Structure formats: structure tokens, C-alpha cells
Amino acid sequence: MIASMLPVVLQVIGYHIPAVADTHRVPFRPLMSATAAVEPQGRVVPTQIPFDDGCTYQDRTPKTLKEKIVVLGSGWAAVKFVQNIDTTKYDVSIISPRNFFLFTPFLPSVTVGTVEGRSIVEPIRKLVQYDARPITRKIKDRFAGVEEETFEEARFVEAMCTKIDPSMNRVYCQDVSSVAGTCDTFSLDYDKLVIAIGATSNTFNTPGVKENALFLKEIQDATVIRSRILDAFETASQKETKEEKQQLLEFVVVGAGPTGVEFAAELDDYIREDLFNLYPEEVAAARVVLISSSDDLLSSYDKKISDFTMKVLEESRVELRTGVRVTEVTKDSVVCKDKKTGETFAESSSLTLWSTGVKPVPLLEDVIAQIPEQTKRSGLFVDSTLKAYGMENVYALGDCATVYSGNAMQNELAQLFTKADADGSGTLDKAELLSLFGKIADKYPQAEVFENRIKEDDVFEQFDDDGSGELDMDEFRDLLAEVDSMLRSLPPTAQVAGQQGGYLASLLNGETTAGFKYFHKGSMAYVGQEKAAAQVSMLKSILPEPVQALAGPLGEDIVLTGGLAEIVWKALYLDMQISNRNKAQVAFDWIKVAMFGRDTSRY
């Protein structure tokens, strides 16, 4: 482990580590009234403060001759946009209930103490300063005559946006800090609005999830999970029988994407490496179960990575349940249904982590409902310049946006219909439709979701308007439109959000007129036991499309697995940290764990 840290440590040495006096402390007070409420069992429940029309909203619109840009959010997209926008042209205001940037890919590591929470946050007020701007932006600023002394910072306001009024070009906000009054509210007018508020966990309306499961979207979530794990082991140590201990130490993870897999892997490492010597009997009783709706883990990654991940986890303590749909979550169990056999069974659970995708937050759902042109339910529908359809001066970035890429499945309507019509009857019965969705799931991932819904719900009957038991071409078109409305053209990742933020700044600065094009640098995941899996895109991603096919093997993605991949994973993620302070702190966290193990104190 220590040897694997060497490349990481060498990378850090070249960075300036700020003095203590330069380090801005980030208040970690829970924003209970803003983004979370805590139930008696310590669970963080994300909430959205509703617009209060009984309050008086003070107009805080800046008095300026420059165009006013209001940015909602403090995540990847918002920060990259603000760090690259030309503030000589625009007056920029940032509104967010969270006054720090959070490096979300490390949240699974924070839950077990591999990385500390304060190592992956950075104050927004520090990130909008001149020193935090990228080198390329500083060079452009210099040519424009902007020096550090004359640089105009964006202003930050810690508040939650509770209403967006596109017709009036206005946002309504409320101060939701722990010391705010009940009606500390204000409004801001804008010339351009940039929405980068992320997304919330998608429960797919599964009964019991909101009441009984935990989520991993914010730093508070990781803190609660960490305390719950240690509480479980301490309480279990007071029980006499293995059965009593096991009831407290059964951890179930629903969702086998990067967050779910990495949390299960980190938890397994924590139990084996750090808790074994302290709680030997409890560790023997503990279980970690990972549930995947698909037959693969990390199904959006290369097949080699998926297979390697499954092999590593099968060699660990993690128990895999693949091809399984969760139908209900109770206080002490997860009810499952095997998609192949139809068998229903329950997994006992003292802690259930739900990690199965995202959906728009209520604020954004309200905006989507107001605008007829907003036909996507997976996020605010935007064109190739990230401008929202139906709104002239509103842009959306990151997890809350769905970029137009054509009506993918509808464009192949006739071809898909013919392919599905096995008996040549000119209509599709339920069996033919299921067969089609099963065949095209690799090309259209959302088809798998609809295949499951058709099997288990009454979706087929909803589109069979004439009740014939078969779908004609028009009914099939309506069904495909529904599938397309749920389809995301780009994954909800930090990589996508960051690139969109930088692109939109360039567009508004007048530095480009082209549409947004995503450059996929690769995908990585930690899979446990000091191993990782990495799919790194190299030559093909930077070549023009007409010549990509000529690159041959050199144009293919590089797939790495094992210990070498872990070194690459650490080096690349360390380089992605938003500040030099974060780089140094994360590196030192890894060194501490390698030398002394993870901290097992509950506080």
C-alpha cells in the first residue's frame, strides 16, 4: 500500500502547501432547514424549501451597467463556469445554500475515513478569487488588461433559490442558515441565468426508500453513514449471540454504479483491515450485500472492467445479487424480486444505501412544468449551446441538464418496428416488444428500464389505446417518445459538468460559437483490496471524427485493472482536486491510512 502511494506523494511535492493562516475553514454546520432534516435515527433527509409567498422579498439586484448573470449552484459546473467567465463583461452572482465546493467522487471514501471530509471541500469565496482561476484564463485576462489588482470577483450569497420566474427574469431566494430568520428572503433580476443545482437521488417511487434508506450525495450524508456504521459495531459488541450481532451488522447497497460499487468496496476494506482487530466477533457476523438491477456491475463501463470488478468483489466479503429489482425497503430489510425467475425474497438490512441514479430537484421540476417546450423528465432540456428550450436567456449545466441529441429511438422508428414485428403482422404484441427492448438495450440503455416496466407493470396497456393487445405504428411511436423523454444523452458525472461549465463561459465570453461537445477522458472506479479499474480514452477522443476510424488500435480506450489501475486512479483523482490545499490534504490522508489505518472513533 505504501509503495503504491509513492507516485501520488511525488506529485504533491511540486505543489505549494498554503500556510495555516491562508487556509479557509469551511463551516460544516448541517443546513437542516436548507438541504436536510435529521430524523431521530440520525438519517439525513434531503428537502427543498418551498417558495413562501407570505414573505416580503427584498430586491437585491446589483446596480450595474454590465449584463447580470445569476448562477445557481456551487458544484462542478458552477465553479468551472465562474472561474472562466469574463467578469469585465458580466456582473456575476452565485447563489447556493452550500458555501463550499465538494469533490463528490470521494464521498464513498469519506464514509469509512479513507479520506477526511474537510480534505475534499473548498470555500466558494476562495474559488472565485483571481488566484483560483485556471492558467489559460489568466493568460486571456492578461491580454484583456486584467491584473489581479483590477480583477472583479463574482459575489457569493449563501441562500437557497426557492422559485424561478422566467417570464420576469427573476429568482427568489431565502437565507436558510442556522441563524437566519423565518423570512430572510430576497429576489434577484438577471439578464442570463445559469442553473447548475445538480440532481437528487431517484427512488423510482419504490415504497419505503425515502423513509428507510440512506443516500450519498452530500458531505452530511457521508458523516451520518460513518457514524451509523461505527454505532452498529459498538452496539453489536454488547450483544451475546451471533444472531443478535448480525441483525445490527447487515449492510445492503442498492445500485451497482460507481458510487454503489465504491462504497461496498470501501466498507469491505474498512471491516477487514481496520475493524477486525477491534471487533473480531462482530466482523465475523457482519455482511455487505450489493444489489444490481442488471446482470453486470458498472454496466456503463467496458465489459472487461465490469467482469474484473465482479471477480474482485466475489473474492471479498461482499455478497452480490445481480439481475434483481428492489420492490420495497423496510426498516430492517430490502425486498427483492429476481427478474429472471420472478422469485421474491428479502435481504435483512440494518443500513440500506440507495444509489440508483438521479432525477431533477423539485425547483427544477416546477420550471419544467411551466414550459411546454420542456419535454424531458430527466432534466432541463437544453440545445447544443446549453440554452434551455422555451427560455431565451436560461442555461442549464451538469446533472440538472439533458442535452439535445436528437430523438434517438424515434429517429429509427420504422427500422425498430420492422425488427420487432417477427410475424409480419404489422402490429407488435407484448412478447415482440419485450424481445426488441432486450436486443437494443446496449445501444439504448433506457430500453432496459422500459423492458422491466413492461414485464412488471401495466405500461404496455397504457399505450394500447384501442385495447387490441397489440401496438400499431402510432401507438409504438408514442411509446418510443416516452422512452426518449427519460433518456439522458450524457452521464451525470463530474467530468461532464466541469466541461459544460468551461464551455458555457467560453460561449458567453465570445470565444466560441460552436456547440458543446463532450470529450470523454475515461472512467475509473475503486473496487477494493487496493485494486481499481480504469478505462482511459486517449487518441481517439482528440482526433476529428472523419479520421477516428483510421487510428486503429491506437484509437481504442486503454483498460487498466488491479494495482496499477489504483495508482492511476489515485494520481488522476489527486490531480482533479480543485485546489493545492485539497491535493496536499488528500495525499496526506492516504499516507496516514497506509501507515496507521483508518480512524475508528465515532464523533
Query: pLDDT, tens digit, for every residue of 350-395?
Result: 999 999 989 999 999 999 999 999 988 889 999 989 999 999 999 9
Residues 146 and 162 in one domain: yes
Q: Which residues share a beta bridge with 525?
A: 533
Q: Is residue 222 part of a domain?
A: no
Residues 51 and 155 in one domain: yes
CATH code for the domain in which residue 152 is found: 3.50.50.100
Express each pLDDT in 539-568 by its tens digit: 555 555 555 555 555 556 788 899 999 999
Element (H, E) at 108: helix 107-110
- Which pLDDT belongs to residue 375? 82
Q: Which of 94-103, 108-117, 227-236, 296-305 has the lowest mean pLDDT?
A: 296-305
| Cell numbers 488500435: residue | 553
Residues 366 and 481 in one domain: no
What average pLDDT is seen over the chain?
86
Residue 33: pLDDT above 60? no
User: How far apart, in whole angstroms, are the C-alpha atoms of residue 35 and residue 31?
Assistant: 6
Residues 80 and 162 in one domain: yes
Q: Is residue 543 part of a domain?
A: no
- Which pLDDT belongs to residue 153? 95
Q: Is residue 544 part of a domain?
A: no
What's the first-to-final CA gap in the chain, in angstroms? 27
- Which pLDDT belongs to residue 423? 84
Span 503-513, average pLDDT: 96
Residues 78 and 162 in one domain: yes
Confidence class for position 450, pLDDT limits 50, 70, 90: low
Element (H, E) at 225: helix 219-236
Express each pLDDT in 436-445 by its tens digit: 877 776 566 5
Q: Is residue 267 part of a domain?
A: no
- Which pLDDT belongs to residue 14? 42
- Name the DSSP letter for residue 401: E
Residue 538: pLDDT above 70? no
Residues 72 and 132 in one domain: yes
How far CA 8 is from CA of 5, 413, 589, in Å, comes to 5, 50, 11
* Number of domains observed in the structure of the chain: 2
Span 334-338, average pLDDT: 96
Residues 391 and 423 in one domain: no
User: How far apart, in whole angstroms, are the C-alpha atoms of residue 73 and residue 98?
Assistant: 8
- Among 485, 501, 520, identify where a domain stops: 485
Residue 427: pLDDT above 50? yes
Residues 475 and 391 in one domain: no
Residues 396 and 463 in one domain: no
CATH code for the domain in which residue 428 is found: 1.10.238.10
Q: Where are the alpha helices (DSSP H) in 361-426?
A: 362-370, 413-420
Higher per-residue confidence, 194 vs 437 = 194
Q: Is residue 2 part of a domain?
A: no
**Inter-residue contact 581 to 122 (CB < 8 Å):** yes
pTM beyond cutoff 0.85: no
Q: Is residue 149 part of a domain?
A: yes
Listed residue (524, 5, 493, 491) closest to 262, CA to CA: 524
Residues 461 and 414 in one domain: yes
Q: Is residue 586 part of a domain?
A: no
Express each pLDDT in 270-286 by its tens digit: 999 999 999 999 999 99
- Which pLDDT belongs to residue 96? 96
Angle between helices 563-575 and 580-596 (to 10 degrees): 150
Residues 49 and 154 in one domain: yes
Q: Is residue 103 part of a domain?
A: no
Residues 501 and 426 in one domain: no
User: How far apart, in whole angstroms, are the C-alpha atoms of residue 378 and residue 401?
Assistant: 8
Listed residue (492, 483, 518, 496) closest to 200, CA to CA: 492
Span 119-144, average pLDDT: 94
Q: Return the C-alpha cell found at 469.
A: 393487445
Q: Which of 25-34, 133-142, 210-219, 298-307 has the lowest mean pLDDT?
A: 25-34
Domain span at residue 462 reads: 410-485
Residue 596 CB contacts under 8 Å (≥ 6 apart), including other chains = none
- Which pLDDT belongs to residue 303? 82
Which amino acid does the sequence have at 254?
V
